[in-house]
Amino acid sequence: MKFLFFAGCKIENYLKQYETSSRAVLNELGVELIDMELNCCGYPIRHQNMVASILSAARNLAVASKLHLDILTPCKCCFGNLKYAISRLREDAEVRKKINLFLEKEGLFWEEGVQVKHLLSVLYHDIGLNAIRTRIKNPIQGLKIAPHYGCHALRPSRVVQFDNPLAPTLFEELVEVTGAETVSWSRRLECCGNPLWERNNSLSLYMMQKKLENAQDAGADFICVACTYCQIQFDQVRASQPQNTHYGLPSILYPQLLGLSMGLERDVLMIEKNVIDSQHLTRYCRSYHQGVNEQRSKGGKNG
Amino acid sequence: MVYNITLYLSLSICVFGLMYRIFRWFSLSIGPDVEGESAAGRMRTACKTMLRFFFSRRILNFLKIFFVDSLFQTRLFQTSKARWLFHILLFHAFVLLVFMHAMDDQITRVLFSEYESTLNPFMFLRNLFGILVLLGVVFFILRRIRQKPFQKATNRTDLAAILILSSILLSGFLLEAVQIFSSPIFDEMVLEYMRTDDPEETAPLESYWAKEYGVVFPKAVDIGQPERISAGQMIHEENCASCHSRPESAFVSYPLSIHMRSFARALNSIRADIWLHYFHFIICFIGLAYLPFSKFFHMISIPLNLMIRNGESRPEEDDPNNAVKRSIGMDACTHCGVCSLHCSVMPIYRVTGNPNVLPSEKLLSVKKIASGKPPDKTGWTAVSDGNFACTDCFRCTKVCPSGIHLHDLWQASKKELERRDHGKSDQLIRKRSASQWEGLFEKYDIPGSPDPDDLLLRNMAPETFSACVQCTVCSNVCPVVSLPVSLSSPEITPQQVMNLLRLDMKELAMGSRMVWDCMTCYMCQEHCPQGIRVADILYELRNMGADRLQKVRLMESVSSEKKADSDSASERNKK
């Protein structure tokens, strides 16, 4: 399995641990990632200029099409915008013409064909829960996780086709495969607040706060996300606010959680890089380390 | 005389220019974090830091940066091997030309007692270095022509640099070519070294030089008689050979001279060699005087910038020298455009045509703002839009061959713009209510100028929202509507927006809190029983609002500038 890796602008300098842990997990599961210099997905400029946003996305899609590769992105906003651009290009011939006029100048062309996939959809649909299950070496035990879906992957469902928009189960299933438990919380499908960060901060923080309260009331130990912006919001933005509470409920990136249960190295998971301390996550599987190792050595002898 | 006057004049302009440029490092200011520091205070801090530095071990690293990164330009090597090759040839050949040729009396003659400009290896090397510089110049011209984004971006400073450099080189080659066939120079030399002007005596030498050295004499010289040539050769070996290598060694100028032979007599008669000599040194001195104000200043600012950055990946936030470091960084830009080629938001520039989106052009505007001037004709609005289009991908900073910390500069410039009330549209829109904006938006809805890309505003067509039955499901699921009033009063709710569209009152919606505080979570759209693309419509209203806001800002900044001008004028009158 081979994909063009679309990291997004922020990941390398603001959330390196998401990139390294995603790469490590995918590598372990036999997915090959191709790297290219790509441009912004067009999500940030969508607030201001739709054509610029669609061109940004289309240029990446055209590059992928030239390479005959599908796109895999760990960021839900990148995912959402690339999908959204495809839907606009698909349904409107005039838009398509206009965008292709821009692309032609660079020897590129957009046409239907390139698939855009989010990290979670690749794990769930392309690799499958069963394949993942066989790689779990240190199942997480006794940890309660509140999976946060992220708006732009889930909606508009007609465009993104990620999962059932009203009652999705994909993320819960992926979390449970690691051995962790999931809690059911009413705000799981709501916005993390980041789209309004640096645009209307008090509102953005309020949205996050509400979610955190809700997850904590549901009994979660951790929030789990699979989006660059959501994690920046739940971790870095939250930590930058002195009056913020709920530090007992850190946010963990899904590939960090999965990687831990797969027994991947510390230095690729980089759990210590999360600003709000999530180190105690390892406690939920450390007790298991020994047992697993013993089992494995027994199995080795038998085999 | 003329030589000395122009030399000292240009030299003093150069020195004062350098002092001015260096002083500016302490007076430019970008970013609220460095605001209010005096130039003297900054100088004191910089001096202290430097003193401390000279006695620390980090000085070794400094030397490494100077030799490896500056002389061998490793950062450029990482960017592009071809550019590195041509640049390094151009740079080193030019420096050698300056030392060996321009400063021959001060340097070359001291080192090599037998030095003569017409002797090898000096004659050959001069041609070699000259052609290397010229090749470099041609490469950089071609690069600007071939790479589309640079065609438009090439500005006067880029052209001046290319023009001066190529004039120096071309006039030099031309001068040497003219000197080769110059009979007046021949006559002067004969008089000086043979101490004779007897035509009988010099005739064999004339023949020899006409045949072997390409001198063109006013009257045809007989070069067909072998005895005469060998007689000339004897005189030549006695008087001339010790200072003259074969002209073929000037492998550029000599062929040039041969091609120009048909004009040689005319050029000799007007003493073109003297005129060209004047032209050549005057253009060199113009280059020298212009150096501190030109692109060539990067010879000083880049090594310095690399050294003060000292390999650090991110500047420290509380570094007291940040203001100076930023200024030197801005000065180290050669407008090479590599940053823009790698810019993550290049497509935005392609659509909007706003040059301030591209880092290489944004830097020019930021530099202007830092020196206290308003930005160019593009205006504050374009500078603000360009600055806030940046997605913090750091790519410009990583690829910059001059090692400028561009990202730090953009962080500072964004804060500076916010401080000056030229922040993001979101900040500005909050200053007025929806109905106030409605008035302004209608005022600046200039008929005949459609909203940009109305092509994409398909969701605004009546058939997309006319199905709304005002059931309020969208408003019920909207997280913004559910907020406590203390945080936001959306003024109107999503279903009311649909109603406003039906009433053709989109201007009222365009400035409303509902449109600008929309989380883009698409709950409304997902839940709409009529399948209306509610969130898409809100997005597009924000697009339209942003565009209309741009127009309002443009008109308001024009009128406020006029007001400021008249205010300062009236103040002056009072004084």
Domains of chain B: 2-179+278-300 (no CATH), 181-277 (no CATH), 321-426 (1.10.1060.10), 429-571 (1.10.1060)
Edge-to-edge order in the sheet of strand A32-34: A32-34, A2-5, A70-73, A116-118
Residues of A in contact with B533 (CB under 8 A): 156
Tokens of A256: 């960090």
CA distance A96 to A91: 9
What interface predicted TM-score (ipTM) does this complex get? Answer: 0.93
CB contact (8 A) between residue B539 and residue A98: no
Residues of B in contact with A59 (CB under 8 A): 347
CA distance B209 to B429: 82
B346, B392, B393, B561, B566 from B380: Cα distances, Å: 20, 21, 23, 11, 19
Q: Where are the alpha helices (DSSP H) in B310-455?
A: 322-331, 338-342, 346-352, 359-370, 379-388, 395-399, 406-419, 425-429, 434-443
Smallest Cβ–Cβ distance between B348 and the set A49, A154, A200 belongs to: A49
Smallest Cβ–Cβ distance between A206 and the set B350, B487, B520 belongs to: B487
pLDDT level of residue B460 (50, 70, 90 thresholds): low
**B274: three-class secondary structure by DSSP:** helix
Residue at B103: amino acid letter: M
Contact B35, B29 (CB under 8 A): yes
- Provide the 8-state DSSP code for A32: E
Mutate to test the interface with A, among B543, B547, B550 (most CBs of A within 10 A): B543
Is the Cα torsion angle B299, B303, B308, B311 positive or negative in sign? positive
Contact A100, A110 (CB under 8 A): yes
pLDDT level of residue A272 (50, 70, 90 thresholds): very high
Contact A251, A275 (CB under 8 A): no
**The domain made up of A2-118 is a member of CATH 1.10.357.10:** no
pLDDT in tens, A224-254: 999 999 999 999 999 998 876 666 799 999 9
- For residue A300, the model assigns a pLDDT of 43
CB contact (8 A) between residue B521 and residue A202: no
**B46: three-class secondary structure by DSSP:** helix
CB contact (8 A) between residue B425 and residue A202: no
CB contact (8 A) between residue B542 and residue A10: no
Smallest Cβ–Cβ distance between B347 and the set A12, A59, A206 belongs to: A59
pLDDT level of residue A288 (50, 70, 90 thresholds): very low
Tokens of B229: 């040539």
Q: Is B347 in the A-facing interface, judged by CB distances under 8 Å?
A: yes
How wide is the angle at C-alpha B523 spanned by C-alphas A86 and A148, nearest 5°?
90
Residue A303 has pLDDT above 50, yes or no: no
CB contact (8 A) between residue A55 and residue B347: yes
Report the residue of chain B nearest A58, measured CA to CA. B347
- For residue B491, the model assigns a pLDDT of 77
Residues of A in contact with B148 (CB under 8 A): 105
Q: Provide CATH 1.20.1050.140 ranges for chain A.
A: 2-118
pLDDT in tens, A28-72: 999 999 999 999 999 999 999 999 999 999 999 999 999 999 999
**A146: three-class secondary structure by DSSP:** strand
pLDDT in tens, B505-537: 888 999 999 999 999 999 999 999 999 999 999
Residues of A in contact with B540 (CB under 8 A): 50
CA distance A121 to A102: 31
Q: What is the mean pLDDT of residues A138-148?
A: 94
CB contact (8 A) between residue A52 and residue B348: yes
CATH class of the domain defined by A137-292: alpha beta
CA distance B513 to B517: 6
Report the residue of chain B nearest A211, measured CA to CA. B479
Q: 140-159 in B: which are within 8 Å (CB) of A?
A: 148
Å between A295 CA and nearest CA of chain B: 45
Lowest-pLDDT range of A129-138, A178-187, B481-490: B481-490
CB contact (8 A) between residue B456 and residue A196: no
Lowest-pLDDT range of A18-32, A182-196, B238-252, B482-496: B482-496
Residues of A in contact with B389 (CB under 8 A): 44-45, 48
CA distance B121 to B103: 16
Q: Is B385 in the A-facing interface, judged by CB distances under 8 Å?
A: yes
Helix (H) or strand (E) holding B482: none
Q: Provide CATH 3.40.50.11810 ranges for chain A.
A: 137-292
Residues of B in contact with A152 (CB under 8 A): 520, 522
Residue B561 has pLDDT above 70, yes or no: no
Query: What are the start-end ranges of the E strands in A183-263?
Result: 222-225, 251-253
CB contact (8 A) between residue A88 and residue B456: yes
Report the residue of chain A nearest B398, measured CA to CA. A13
How wide is the angle at C-alpha B569 spanned by C-alphas B564 and B572, nearest 5°?
125
Residues of B in contact with A7 (CB under 8 A): none
Contact B235, B241 (CB under 8 A): no
Q: 44-63 in B: which are within 8 Å (CB) of A?
A: none
Contact A33, A5 (CB under 8 A): yes
Q: 452-481 in B: which are within 8 Å (CB) of A?
A: 452-453, 455-458, 479-480
